[in-house]
Amino acid sequence: MKVIEHLEKKHSAPLFSYEIVPPPRGKTVKEVVDIVKKLEPFDPPWIDVTAHSAGAYYNDLSDGTVERRIYKKRPGTIGICGIIQNRFKIDTVTHLLCNGFTKEETEDALIELQYLGIHNVLALRGDGLNYSKKVDKARSNNRYAIDLVEQIEDMKHGKFLDELSGAEPLHFCTGVAGYPEKHFEAPNMKFDLQWLKKKVDAGAEYIATQMFYNNEKYWSFVKQCREEGINVPIIPGLKILKSVRQLQTIPRNFYINFPDELVDEVMANQDHVKEIGINWAKKQVEDLINGGAPSLHFYIMNDTDSVLEVVKNFR
């Protein structure tokens, strides 16, 4: 089932979806399978699986030279989606990136997903590469997420990169990212929303937001989206705080702010951060449900315990 179909159905309980990351290279898929087993009793409508571009890594060799190697630290996104969808019968959302992938590679990925019965993708530009990837002259890139959305939309109408006689359409539901506190590269929120509207106009059917800890940021974002003419469902994304260190790492990596009240409470009770984070998330969830959010999306990052401690209060 597509994400948009889940959102349009009537449900007796709130919808909670989850996002996990593939295991690092050299590890088995057991960790992911164990996470899904923990989530399964809570009836997740869908699970997102993140994607990762290749990166450049440098090794010091015995002869004093330095070797550069390029590889993905976390391969396996499509394979993991296939396991979740076909073994656990839980719909999956595959993350697709512009950076690090050609249009031809994206087309192949979409064909494979269709074969696996996976019909949901999240179209993202992705983080910048730490090396210059040379692209063969016979190939091309999607530069921005809107380009990726347009490619997916073309395939939904049977239009492939090469002219194919009798090509059949591929049936995907496409989501895109939204930023309640503004994308860090956008000069202001108005500019950010204009680009978001272009992605929706190009075919995106829902928006999943970056994490936030102040619900007023989400409600303001939804209001501004509606004023801009963006009328698709906007799914709030949450990540539960679990350490003092995250007060620094989360703003640095995701360009968001923590509310003063939360920071003050954590700094005054540093031995109880996990409990504080859970209680803060419970308050966020309750407000979002009562306010009419279409569903809630948890960024697990392969740590399920705190998330399930929150979710079980609302099932």
Percent of the chain with pLDDT over 70: 96
pLDDT at 128 over 80: no
Total number of domains in the chain: 1
**Which residues constitute the domain of residue 256?**
3-314
Per-residue model confidence (pLDDT) at position 55: 76
Per-residue pLDDT band for 315 (boundaries 50, 70, 90) equals confident
Residue 65's pLDDT band (boundaries 50, 70, 90)?
Answer: confident
Cα–Cα distance for residue pair 19/37, rounded to 1 Å: 14
Residue 44 has pLDDT above 80, yes or no: yes
CA-CA-CA-CA dihedral for 50, 54, 59, 63, to nearest 10: 160
CB 139 within 8 A of CB 106: no
Amino acid 174: pLDDT: 98
Residue 66 has a pLDDT of 72
Q: Is 234 helix (H, G, I), strand (E, B) or coil?
A: strand
User: For the domain that residue 114 is a member of, what is the CATH number?
Assistant: 3.20.20.220
Task: Express each pLDDT in 75-85 by its tens digit.
Answer: 999 999 999 99
Residue 165 DSSP one-character state: T
**Average pLDDT across the chain, whole number:** 93
Q: What is the mean pLDDT of residues 276-297?
A: 98
